[in-house]
Structure 1
Amino acid sequence: MEPMEIRANFKQATVKGGTAVLQLEILTSDANAFPILKLSGKPGVLTVADIQDELPLDYDEEDEGEPLPFDKPANVDAETGEVYEVITDEARMIGDGE
């Protein structure tokens, strides 16, 4: 059987002896809901990932500027790649000085 993915809310956990029972809540509108429900009572592997709330971002391709040159040091011109200030002070090279 192929692995299936579904969003679930953990509702309750009951621990008795060396066994824990987890109660999950899933939406039956999810395409994988009923195939997963058919596995009830059978052994399986559960993989869990924490889901962070998604922030709605208003993205407009027209507003997109040039990407920031993260691959170049601060003393290198982003457009030309020319080194405009040679840093010879060791403290400045490692970020401790100004």
Structure 2
Amino acid sequence: LKVPETWDEFKETALGLQKILPAGSYATEFAGKEEALTGRFYEILTSEGGQFFDENWKPAFNSDAGVKAATMLRDLYAAGAMPPGMTDYVWEDVAQNWVTGIIA
């Protein structure tokens, strides 16, 4: 596999990998509990040129970049490329799943 260099490549790689993984294994995972998933959304949002707030502190994440970030997370979850319970996971859960081979 080629190491992804963009979020589009990451999504494509994860979805492709999920198709060949054994049942009960997942291509990727993010911690979803508390502020963790917001952090992942923020990273995707800003790397795609978006921002949470504009210069007047008005919400600005309902943009092309924000929609792309939310859609990517939704698509990976809906495709089963992330474990069903990940919205309740903290980073220790992600680490445990990686060490035990549940996530690739």
Larger RCO of the pair (alpha carbons < 8 Å, separation 6+): 2
Structure with greater Cα Rg: 1
Q: TM-score, normalised by structure 1?
A: 0.22
Structure with greater strand percent: 1
Structure with greater helix percent: 2
Q: TM-score, normalised by structure 2?
A: 0.21
